[in-house]
Amino acid sequence: MIKRIIKITSLVIILTLFLGFLQDYYFSRPASQTLRNDGFYLEDRNSLDVLFMGASEVYSGFSSALAYKQQGFTSYPYAFTGNPDTLWKNELKEALRYQKPKLVVVEVNGALYDPEDLYDDSKLRQFTDSMPLSENKIETVNRFATEDKLSYYLTILKYHSRWNEVFTSLSWMTDRLFMKARGYSLLRGSFTRTGYDSRGKVEDVANIKGVQPLSNDARYYLLDFLQYCKDNKVNVLFVRFPHLISDQRAEMMYRRSKTVKSIVSEYGYSFLDMEPLRKNIGLKKNDYYNNDHLNIKGQRKLTTYLAAYIARHYDVSGDDLTPKQKAEWDKSAEYIDLFYDYFQVQNKMDIKNYKGIEKKQGHRMAVRNKDINETMGLIRKLDQMKRQLQGESRIQNKINSLEETSQSSDK
Amino acid sequence: MSYTTLYFFAFILAAVVIYYIFPVKKYQWTVLLAASIFFYCYADFRYAFFIVFTSFTTWIAALQTEKIKAASKAELALKKGEWDREQKKIFKKKTKHRTGMLLFLTLAANFGILIFLKYYNFTAGGLNAILGWSGFSAPMLRLFLPLGISFYTFQSMGYVIDVYRGNAEAEKNFLKFALFISFFPQTIQGPISSFNQLAHQLFEPHRPEYLRFKYGLELMLWGYLKKLVIADRAVTAIHAVTADYKLYNGTTILFTVLLYALQLYADFSGGIDISRGIAQMLGIDMVENFRRPYMSKSINEYWRRWHITLGVWMKNYIFYPLAVSKTFLNASKKMHESRFGKTAVGEHIAKVFPTSVASLIVFLVVGLWHGANSRYVAFGVWNGLIIMISIILQPLYKKWIKALRINAQSHLWHFFQIIRTFILVLVGYMFDIGPNFTGSMDMLRMCFTDQNLQRGMFQMSGLGLYIHDYAVLAVGAIVILIVSLRQEKLSIDSPGVLLARHSAAFQWAMLFIAVVTVVSLGIYGPDYNAASFVYMQF
C-alpha cells in the first residue's frame, strides 16, 4: 500500500515538474520579450537606479549597458511590444515589487493608441506570462483578461499548440537557460536590428502644429497611472523617443504626445520630447530600422544623449552596487562595445548590400534587418571576439615590448 | 460544462472525494444526485424543466402501472373462485388496457416533447415548401434542445416499458429515480442504460478501490487521447469540406469521409470512455457503447458494435415488438399461404419478412434520431436496406460462398468482409456529412467520377491542417488500430486491463507519454474552440 502510494505520488510529481518545465520553457512565446522579461526578474532586487517603461521604442532605442558604461547608473527596459497605457499601473506595481528605482522613465507611445489597440490580448499576455503569481497578477488578469482566466496562470493552456515548433522552441529554451545559468542578462534587455528601412518624406516636427486629444480610455488610464505615481511618490520622467514622421498617423501620434505632455505637467512631472531633438542627438534616416524604431547605430546615439540627460538632471548615481553586481555590470559594459563593433561590420555589409540591390533593381528596398537578441549563439560570438581581441592585444604588447627593447639596445 | 476544461476536472475531483468521504453510506447516492443536478444546471438551468418533467411523469407512470397490476392481481386472487375464465380474461384485458393507456400517454408526452423540439422546424419547413402555394405558412420557432434529451428520454421510456412488461420493478423513491435519469457521466452522450443494469449500482454504497481508480483514470486518459488529439484535430478539415463540398474534388471528398470515420469514432467513443472512466472511479460500471466497430464483418455486426446501447434499445423496444406483432406475423402468414409463398424464394421471404421489414423501420427511426434532415433519413434507410437485403439474400449468399469454394473462416475472407463492411459504412457516412440528400449523392458520385490525386493533395493542404497535424492523425489512427487489434485478439475491452499485462516500467512510460501527448497535442484552451462532442446535439 505504502509502496503504491509512493509510486503514484512519484509519477504525479514527475509529470507535474515535466509539464511545468514544458510550460515555462518549451511552450513559452519565442520572442525577444521573453528573454527581456527573464532578464528583468534576474536583476538583483533593488539594484536598478532607473527603470524604463513603455513600448518597443524603449528596448530598441536605449541600451542600459551602454548607459552604465557612459554614466555609471544601472537601468533596465521593463518595456513590452505595443505596450498600451492600460497596463502601465500594473507594470509599475510589478516592477516596484522587485526594484526601488530613483527614476522611472516612461516612453508615452502607449497613451497615444486608438481604443482598439488598448485591449489586445497578446499585449496583455506578454506582460502576464512572465509574472509570478501575486495579487498584482490576479488584479491585472481580472481587469483585462478577455479569454479563459485560467490560461493566464497556466500558460500551457494557451501555448501548447506550439508543440510542433520543435527547433524554435528548443533554440529559445537553450537561450533562456543559458541566460539563467549566467544569472543576469548580459546585454540588459536590449533588442534592436541591424538594417534600415525608412519610408516616405520625413516631416520636420516644427511644422506639425496643434494638439490632438487622446482616446477616452487612453486618457483614463494615463490619469490612473499618474495618480498612482503621485500616491506612491514615484519619480517619473515622461519621454517621447524620436521617430521618422512621414504620414498622417505618425503626425496624429505626435500631436497626441503634446496632449500627454500637458497632462503630465499638470501632475508636476517632466516631459522630454526628443522628436525635435533628432539633430541634437545626431540621428539620420539610416539610424532607424523602420520609421518608429532605432537600429543599432541609432541606439548608440540615443543612449549617449538620453543617459547624459538623465545623469545631468537626476541624481541616479549608482554607488550602491555590491562588488558582484558591479563586476556583472562592468562585464555588460565590456560586452556592449563588442556588441556594437560586431554589428557595425554587419550593419555596413547590410547597407552595402542594400545599395547594390537598389542600384540593380532600380527601386527602394528595405535593408535586410537582422534581429539582434541575446541568444547563446550571439554571446558565444562576442566571447570569441573578446578572446581574439585579447590575443591581438597580447601580440601588440609583445611587439611594443620588443620595439622598446630594440630601441634601448640601439641607444 | 465541457469535458475538456480544468473546471470539469475540478468538478470530478470534488464529486469523487465528497462521494467517498460522505459519512452516511446509505445515502451516499445523494452526492451523485447533487453532482448530477449541479452538472445539468451548470449547462443551462432552463434545461432542467424538461428533464424534471420526464423524470416525474415516468416515475409516476411506472408506480401507477405497478399499482394497477398489483391491484389487478389482488382482485383476481380475491375473485378466483367467483369468476369464470371469460370474466378473468375480460378483467385482464381491462387491466392491460389501463396500463397500456398509461404507457401510451407517458410515451406520447415524452417522445412528443422530443419530437416537437427536434423536428418541429423541419416539419414546418417541409410543409411550407409543399403547401406554400396555398398561402399556408407554419411559423418557424426558436427552439433549443435540452442537454442530452435524446438519451434521457430513451432511457426513461425504456424503463417505463420494462415496468409495463414486468421486466423491472418500479422505483418508489423519486430522488433515486431522478438520479438514474440524470446521472451526470451519461447526460451528454449516453450510454443509454437499462434500469436493471444501472440502478442498483447507483444506489449501493461504494468504497474506494485502487484498481477501479487506476482503470477508470486510464480509460479517461484513453478517451481524452482520442477526443482531444484525434477527433478535435480532424474536425477542422472535415468542416472545411462540408461547408461547401463543391469547392473540392472527389479525391478530397473521399479523404474527408475517411477522416470523418476516424473523427466520429474517436469523438464518440472517446467521450463514452471519459464517461465510463468517471463512473468506474465511482464504483459504477456503465455498459460499453463501442466495441471496435470498424472490425465488423457485416453491417449487422457493425450495429452491434457501434452505439451498442442505442442498438439494444431499438432491438428491445422497436424491433422485437414489430417483428413479433400480430400485423407482421399475419402478413408473413398470408405471404406463406399465397402462390408466391409456395416457391422456395417466396417461402424464405415470407419467413424473414417480419425481421427484415422491422429492421428497415428500426433504421429509419435510427436515422431520424440523428437529426431532422433528409440526409439522416437517407442514412437510416441505407443501413436498413443493406440489412434487409442481406437477410433476404442470406441463402443465396451461402450458395455463392459454397460455389466459389471460399473458406469463410479464413483470415483473408474475414479481411475482405471487414473492408467490404467499412466501405458500406463509409457510404452511410456520406449522408452524415453531406448538406442534404442530394448533396450527399453528389458527393458520392464525385468520389467515383472526379478523382485527381495531385489536385486532391493540393486541396488537402488548404483544409486548415498542417502537415504535422496530418502526421498526428496518421499516428493516432495507427495507435487506435494497434490497441484495437490487441483488444480484439485478447477479448479485453478495458485499456487499463490491457496495459496491466505489461511491466510496471512499461505502464508508467505509457501513462507518462499519454499524459504529455494529451497536454501538448490536445486541441483545447483559448486558441481553439474544442469541437463540441458530435453526439451532444442529440
Answer yes or no: is pLDDT of B512 > 80: yes
| Residues from chain A contacting residue B519 (CB–CB below 8 Å) | 19, 22, 156, 160
Answer yes or no: is pLDDT of B122 > 90: no
Q: With an 8 Å Cβ cutoff, are A151 and B511 in contact? A: no
Answer yes or no: is pLDDT of A59 > 90: yes
| Cβ–Cβ contact B317 with A under 8 A | no
| Cβ–Cβ contact B9 with A under 8 A | no
For A252, residues 6+ apart whose C-beta sits below 8 A from its C-beta are A212
Q: Report the distance separating Cα A171 and Cα A176, nearest Å.
A: 9
Q: In degrees rounded to 5, what are phi and psi of residue A51?
A: -115, 130
> How far, in Å, are B40, B58, B155, B163, B171 from residue B63 at the CA level?
25, 9, 17, 9, 7
Q: Ranked by mean pLDDT, which of A360-369, A373-382, B395-404, B412-421 comes out on top?
A: B412-421
Residue A34 falls inside a structural domain: no
SS3 B242: helix
Residue A50 falls inside a structural domain: yes
Predicted local confidence at residue B120, as pLDDT: 85
> How far, in Å, are A261, A282, B315 from residue A246 at the CA level?
22, 19, 77
Nearest-by-CA chain B residue for A152: B526
**Order of all β-strands in the sheet with A270-273:** A75-79, A50-54, A103-107, A236-240, A270-273
List pLDDT tens digits, range B330-372. Answer: 888 888 888 877 887 788 888 888 888 899 999 999 988 887 7
Angle at B373 between CA B368 and CA B378, to 5 degrees: 65
| Residues from chain B contacting residue A167 (CB–CB below 8 Å) | none
Predicted local confidence at residue B331, as pLDDT: 85
Q: Report the distance separating Cα A92 and Cα A54, nearest Å.
A: 11
Answer yes or no: is pLDDT of B310 > 60: yes
* CA-only gyration radius of chain A, Å: 24
Predicted local confidence at residue A261, as pLDDT: 97
Q: Report the distance separating Cα B418 and Cα B537, nearest Å.
A: 30
The x, y and z cell numbers of residue B421, run together, are 463492411
Answer yes or no: is pLDDT of B419 > 90: yes
* CA-only gyration radius of chain B, Å: 26
Percentage of chain A modeled with pLDDT above 90? 59
Q: Which of A72, A40, A6, A386 is nearest to A190 (CA)?
A: A40
Q: Report the distance separating Cα A296 and Cα A292, nearest Å.
A: 13
| Cβ–Cβ contact A153 with B under 8 A | no
Residue A390 falls inside a structural domain: no
Q: How confident is the model at residue A363 (pLDDT cuts 50, 70, 90)?
A: very low
Predicted local confidence at residue B537, as pLDDT: 46
| Residues from chain A contacting residue B504 (CB–CB below 8 Å) | 7
Q: Report the distance separating Cα B40 and Cα B183, nearest Å.
A: 9
Q: Report the distance separating Cα B348 and Cα B413, nearest Å.
A: 26
Q: With an 8 Å Cβ cutoff, are B520 and A160 in contact? A: yes
Q: With an 8 Å Cβ cutoff, are A15 and B516 in contact? A: yes
DSSP B434-469: SSSHHHHHHHHHHHHH---HHHHHHHHTTSS--HHH
| Cβ–Cβ contact B512 with A under 8 A | yes
Angle at B346 between CA B340 and CA B348, to 5 degrees: 160
Q: Which of A218, A291, A207 is nearest to A249 (CA)?
A: A291
Contact A188, A379 (CB under 8 A): no
Distance from the Cα of B212 to chain A's closest Cα (Å) equals 14
Q: Which of B221, B509, B11 is nearest to A15 (CA)?
A: B509
Output the CA torsion sign for A135, A137, A143, A145: negative
Of A46-50, B17-21, B81-85, B497-501, the poorest mean pLDDT is in B81-85
Q: With an 8 Å Cβ cutoff, are B512 and A11 in contact? A: yes
Q: Report the distance separating Cα B355 and Cα B322, nearest Å.
A: 8
Distance from the Cα of B243 to chain A's closest Cα (Å) equals 24
Query: What interface predicted TM-score (ipTM) does this complex get?
Result: 0.81
Residue A402 falls inside a structural domain: no
DSSP letter assigned to residue A161: G
| Residues from chain B contacting residue A18 (CB–CB below 8 Å) | 512, 516
Answer yes or no: is pLDDT of A23 > 50: yes
Tallying the residues shown for chain A, one arrives at 411
Q: Report the distance separating Cα B123 and Cα B373, nearest Å.
A: 10
- Bridging pattern class, strands A270-273 and A236-240: parallel
Answer yes or no: is pLDDT of B530 > 60: no
Angle at B72 between CA B70 and CA B78, to 5 degrees: 105
Cα–chain center distance at A123: 15
Q: How confident is the model at residue A407 (pLDDT cuts 50, 70, 90)?
A: confident
Q: With an 8 Å Cβ cutoff, are A154 and B524 in contact? A: no
Nearest-by-CA chain A residue for B466: A164
- Among partner residues B210, B468, B511, which is closest to A164 by beta-carbon distance? B468
Distance from the Cα of A132 to chain B's closest Cα (Å) equals 20
Q: With an 8 Å Cβ cutoff, are B525 and A164 in contact? A: no
For A350, residues 6+ apart whose C-beta sits below 8 A from its C-beta are A194, A195, A367, A368, A369, A370
Q: If 0-12 CB within 10 Å is exposed, 13-18 middle and 19+ buried, where does residue A382 land? A: buried
| Cβ–Cβ contact A13 with B under 8 A | no
Predicted local confidence at residue A354, as pLDDT: 60
Contact B465, B272 (CB under 8 A): no
Nearest-by-CA chain A residue for B510: A11
Instruction: Identify the bridge partners of residue A237 per DSSP, sorted by sequence position.
Output: A105, A270
Q: With an 8 Å Cβ cutoff, are A164 and B508 in contact? A: no
Q: In degrees rounded to 5, what are phi and psi of residue A190?
A: -75, 145
CATH of the domain at A235: 3.40.50.1110
Contact A84, A120 (CB under 8 A): yes
| Cβ–Cβ contact B503 with A under 8 A | no
Q: Determine the residue among B527, B528, B529 to mutate to test chain A binding: the one whose Cβ has the most chain A Cβ atoms within 10 Å.
A: B527
Q: Report the distance separating Cα B167 and Cα B182, nearest Å.
A: 21
Q: With an 8 Å Cβ cutoff, are A15 and B525 in contact? A: no
Nearest-by-CA chain A residue for B472: A164
The x, y and z cell numbers of residue A148, run together, are 479563459
Mean pLDDT, range B473-478, rounded to an integer: 96
List pLDDT tens digits, range B84-120. Answer: 888 888 888 898 999 999 999 999 999 999 989 888 8
The domain containing residue A56 runs over which residues? 41-374
Q: What is the mean pLDDT of chain A?
A: 89
Q: With an 8 Å Cβ cutoff, are A4 and B210 in contact? A: yes
For B71, residues 6+ apart whose C-beta sits below 8 A from its C-beta are none
Q: Ranked by mean pLDDT, which of A351-365, B326-340, B408-422 comes out on top?
A: B408-422
DSSP letter assigned to residue B2: -
DSSP letter assigned to residue B352: H
Q: What is the mean pLDDT of chain B?
A: 90
Q: Report the distance separating Cα B275 and Cα B196, nearest Å.
A: 19
- Our count of domains for chain A comes to 1
List pLDDT tens digits, range B430-453. Answer: 998 988 888 999 999 999 998 999
Q: With an 8 Å Cβ cutoff, are B527 and A14 in contact? A: no
Q: With an 8 Å Cβ cutoff, are B525 and A158 in contact? A: yes
Predicted local confidence at residue B533, as pLDDT: 46
Predicted local confidence at residue A359, as pLDDT: 57
Helices marked H in A232-317:
248-266, 278-281, 296-313
Binning chain A into helix, strand and coil, the percentages to the nearest 5 are 60, 10, 30
Contact A275, A254 (CB under 8 A): yes
| Cβ–Cβ contact A21 with B under 8 A | no
Q: With an 8 Å Cβ cutoff, are A11 and B210 in contact? A: no
| Residues from chain A contacting residue B466 (CB–CB below 8 Å) | 164
Q: Determine the residue among B9, B518, B520, B523 to mutate to test chain A binding: the one whose Cβ has the most chain A Cβ atoms within 10 Å.
A: B520
